[in-house]
Structure 1
Amino acid sequence: MYTLKKSLGQHFLKDENICRKIISSLQERPFTQLLEVGPGGGALTKYLLQLEKIDFKAVELDEEKVGYLTATYPVIKDKIIHQSFLDIEKPFTGQFTIVGNFPYNISTQILFKILEWKDDVECMVGMFQKEVAQRAAAPEGNKVYGVLSVLVQAFFDVEYLFDVSEQSFNPPPKVKSGVIRLLPRKNVPDMKSEKAFFLLVKTAFNQRRKTLRNAVRGLFDTAVLEDELFNKRAEQLNVAQFAELSFKMK
């Protein structure tokens, strides 16, 4: 078999019902190229390999799991990328879909990597620590709404699909999990530039208890800061408001 490595944030899915729900959610959208992130013991992989007419690849950092997967599912031998997901180049040319039971210790970084590939990611169905899944999907005004929420929602429609119990894993994690789906937004809000938008959002939430005026003072001219919008706190602004505000930056 294989061993579990806490250092890699490994908690392997053992609940077949949850596996089938994830596959079902994935198949609601057509795709021809599919990347699985962190196949681990193959809980999802065994279903994904059965999908017909799909160019399938899996990225797995753990050498032991790579060996286990190729021994258990010989057909996967030339489909595995033995690297960290955070380090790989784009695995396909053109549009592709991503699926995975993502390692908890890099889950936020995974979402930012997907943002880097946003022009080619046509869908993502993934399981995250529930807190991260909720942050990605949170609307403005929600207590967990923050940098991750705004940046992801600027480019993707985020749907929280379902909770996953700790008992669905081996070993059971200390936290609940949640599955979300990302689909590219049809109308990405106009912004001064992605660089300006990212800087504004990160600066605004860096001191989220302060009014926007105090949190982002260095990014705007004094006259602009007189606008009443700056009386609000970052968590009160929606994605469109942040995008619009980016045009007024120095």
Structure 2
Amino acid sequence: MKKNKGKYSPQHTPANDGEVRAKKHLGQHFLTDESVAEKIADSLTWEGYENVLEIGPGMGVLTKYLLKKGVNLHVIEIDRDSVAYLDENYPTLEGKVHQEDFLKYDLRKIFPEGPYAIIGNFPYNISTQIVFKTLENREEIPEFAGMFQKEVAQRIAAPHGNKTYGILSVLTQAFYEVTYLLTVPPAVFNPPPKVESGVIRLTRKEDYSLPCDEALFFRVVKTAFQQRRKTLRNSLKIFQLPDNLREDAIFGQRPEQLSTEQFIELTLKIEPYAIST
């Protein structure tokens, strides 16, 4: 796993000016530190695409740095107050501010052709769902960067053998190279969250196709980690595998001990005996 860890001390700009109030039910914490916003904007490589989608721009502290990149930037924001603020303060985004729920919206309506990157200071309450939707649309998304709760960012980037390594780690790393970029303190947000944040970048692998049945791979990974303290021999009983296969050494390990490549190997072993659903 690539690691490029850093930690930033706050360089505060004036906080939320009152025009948009952070809404708890939307998981909003407005970033107020210009240096962190610039670092997030700089975290993308900007190679191989011209389209970029920012999720949850709020009042645009990150947006203004993205606009400087000269790319085709669209933003998606569910909060109507934030949308009104963006429409008023960012006239260059006319026609490119989408008041929609990212998780439910068909992204092909924004970018019908050509690849696009995703970036944002993600609401913590939907951040893992954002990653899973990115994986579903990986053919169109060569790069992804954003801010998560630190614990979630570390989980996505965790290597096998790490206690935080799990379903999200394996499925993300099957298709993307993950780089943990920096840790961000609560003081750079308004209101400040109770936890630290972490910024990561996902870069799609050159060959991101799986040599095994994809649906079965997802099923094997999720089933294995549902009983992560058990060996695979016990946690994968639902597949009703023959005894001679279950004697293979790989079944004597626990799920966190297997790399993504080993989970692919495991799926290939199971594939002749299982029906993918």
Same fold by TM-score greater than 0.5: yes
Structure 1 partner of 2:144? 124
The aligned runs of 1:80-159 (5 Å cut-off) are 80-90=97-107, 91-92=110-111, 93-159=113-179
Is 1:45 aligned to residue 63 of structure 2? yes
Name the aligned partner's letter for residue 246 of structure 2: L
Q: 1:239 aligns with which of 253, 256, 260?
A: 260
1:114 maps to a residue whose letter is T
* 1:114-136 Cα shifts (integer Å, max 9, x gaps): 00111111111110110110010
Question: Is the 1:115–1:152 Cα contact (8 Å) retained in structure 2?
Answer: yes
Match of 1:70 among 87, 91, 106: 87
Tell whether the 8 Å contact from 1:197 to 1:243 is kept in structure 2 after alignment: yes
The residue that corresponds to 2:6 in the other structure is none
Q: Tell whether the 8 Å contact from 1:36 to 1:98 is kept in structure 2 after alignment.
A: yes
Deviation at 1:26, TM superposition (A): 2.0
Residue 29 of structure 2 is matched in structure 1 by: 11
Aligned partner of 2:267: which letter?
S
Give structure 2 stretches of 5+ with no counterpart: 1-18
Helix, strand or coil: the match of 2:243? coil
Contact 2:117 2:141 in 1 (8 A): yes
**8 Å contact from structure 1 (residues 217, 225) kept in 2:** no
After TM superposition, the structure 1 = structure 2 runs for residues 135-214 of structure 1, keeping only pairs within 5 Å, are: 135-188=155-208, 190-214=210-234
- Measure how far apart 1:30 and its partner are: 5.3
- In the TM superposition, residue 34 of structure 1 has moved relative to its aligned partner by 0.6
Q: Would you say the 8 A contact 1:190–1:244 is kept in 2?
A: no
TM-score scaled by length of structure 1: 0.96
Pick the aligned partner of 1:57 from 74, 77, 85: 74
Per the alignment, residue 21 of structure 1 pairs with: 39
User: Relative contact order, CA 8 A, sep 6+: which one is greater?
Assistant: 2
Structure 2 Cα separation of the partners of residues 209 and 229 of structure 1: 15
Asked whether the equivalents of residues 177 and 202 of structure 2 are also in contact (C-alpha less than 8 Å), the reply is yes
Contact persistence 2:143–2:202 (CA under 8 A)? yes
Aligned length in residues:
249
Large movers: runs of 4+ above 3 Å: 27-31, 187-191
RMSD: 1.3
SS of alignment partner, residue 78 of structure 1: coil
Shift of 1:23: 1.6
Question: Residues of 2 paired with 1:60 and 1:28: CA distance?
Answer: 22
In the alignment, is the contact (CA less than 8 A) between 1:191 and 1:246 conserved in 2? no
| 2:257 partner letter | Q
More deviation, 81-90/110-119: 81-90
What residue number does 2:12 align with?
A: none
Q: What residue is the counterpart of 2:247 in the other structure?
A: 226
Q: Tell me the secondary structure at the aligned position of residue 39 of structure 1.
A: coil
Contact (CA 8 Å) 2:250, 2:266: kept in 1 or not? no
Q: Which whole-Å deviations, capped at 9, do the CAs of 1:44-96 have from their partners, x for residues lacking one? A: 111222322x2111000011110111011122231011111101112312211
CA separation in 2, counterparts of 1:68 and 1:224? 60
Deviates more, 1:9-18 or 1:212-221: 212-221
Distance, in Å, in 1 between the alignment partners of 2:48 and 2:231 is: 44
Decide whether the 8 Å contact of 2:49 with 2:114 is kept in 1.
no
Of 96, 99, 109, the match for 1:79: 96
Is the contact between residue 57 and residue 79 of structure 1 (CA under 8 Å) also seen in structure 2? yes
* 8 Å Cα contact 1:191-1:197 kept in structure 2: no
